[in-house]
């Protein structure tokens, strides 16, 4: 099986995958990784099974509380650091491990860690950033699962003003895969909204360990 994150010819006829055209990026969107029923069950399970906490990060020399709750899980040694925050992996809770297995089976690539974010309402958000930390390698593979409320996800090119921004309404049960040069060339964000929206959980599966990325390199496609 060829990993959809590494292809440019995905369409609705290829297991529901939709390729999102963008310069200097490899983006693929699967609207229905989970059925609506399974997505609702996963949302309920993760709300209680995950040990949520509010991280603080360093921005412009100041320590600020993140406008969301988060958790980091992974295989032994899958440490991750960003914005002055160092994360040690906790063991995989069963509901998170099941989602990892499902994601790995759909894109034919392994993952050793996941960052979960709980957006409690429209006031919670994620600012502009790229997932380009050294731990993720030169061409990070990020698989993002959405549960709960639909939220607007926006990408904009880091250098080219002539390239239009990309906006995606990330539906519950969907999977967005970002790979190749995407993190080097683009930033992304989940903006605040004044609309009345319910909670949303996002899981971004990652490859922190070099041994994991080596398996990906050797995979077909």
CATH, residue 122: 2.60.120.590
pTM equals: 0.88
What range defines the domain where residue 98 resides? 4-218
Residue 12 has pLDDT above 70, yes or no: no
The whole-number average pLDDT for the span 168-184 is 97
> Model confidence over 18-56: pLDDT tens digits?
999 899 999 999 999 999 999 999 999 999 999 999 988
Q: How many domains does the chain have?
A: 1
The whole-number average pLDDT for the span 189-216 is 92
Q: DSSP readout, 135-180? A: GG-SS--EEEEEEES-EEEEEEESS-TTSPPEEEEE-TT-EEEEET
> Model confidence over 115-161: pLDDT tens digits?
999 999 999 999 999 999 999 999 999 999 999 999 999 999 999 99
**pLDDT value for 52:** 97
Strand residue runs (E) in the chain: 18-20, 26-30, 56-59, 62-65, 69-74, 80-82, 85-87, 113-119, 126-129, 142-148, 151-157, 166-170, 175-179, 186-190, 200-206
**pLDDT value for 216:** 56
Q: How confident is the model at residue 15 (pLDDT cuts 50, 70, 90)?
A: low
User: Which is nearest to 118 in space by CA: 59, 169, 190, 187?
Assistant: 190
């Amino acid at each position: 099986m060829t990993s959809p994150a590494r292809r440019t010819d995905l369409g609705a006829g290829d297991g529901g995958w939709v390729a999102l055209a963008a310069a200097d990026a490899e983006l693929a969107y699967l609207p229905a990784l989970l059925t609506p029923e399974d997505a609702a069950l996963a949302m309920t399970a993760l709300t209680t099974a995950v040990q949520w906490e509010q991280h603080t990060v360093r921005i412009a020399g100041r320590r600020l509380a993140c406008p969301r709750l988060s958790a980091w899980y992974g295989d032994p040694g899958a440490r991750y650091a960003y914005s002055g925050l160092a994360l040690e992996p906790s063991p995989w809770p069963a509901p998170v491990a099941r989602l990892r297995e499902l994601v790995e089976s759909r894109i034919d690539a392994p993952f050793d860690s996941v960052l979960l974010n709980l957006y409690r309402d429209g006031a919670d958000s994620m600012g502009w950033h790229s997932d380009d930390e050294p731990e993720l390698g030169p061409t990070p593979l990020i698989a993002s699962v959405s549960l709960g409320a639909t939220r607007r996800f926006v990408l904009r090119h880091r250098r080219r003003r002539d390239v239009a921004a990309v906006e995606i309404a990330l539906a519950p049960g969907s999977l967005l895969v970002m790979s190749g040069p995407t993190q080097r060339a683009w930033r992304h964000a989940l903006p605040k909204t004044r609309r009345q929206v319910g909670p949303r959980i996002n899981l971004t599966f990652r490859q922190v360990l070099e041994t994991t990325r080596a398996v990906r390199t050797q995979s077909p496609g």
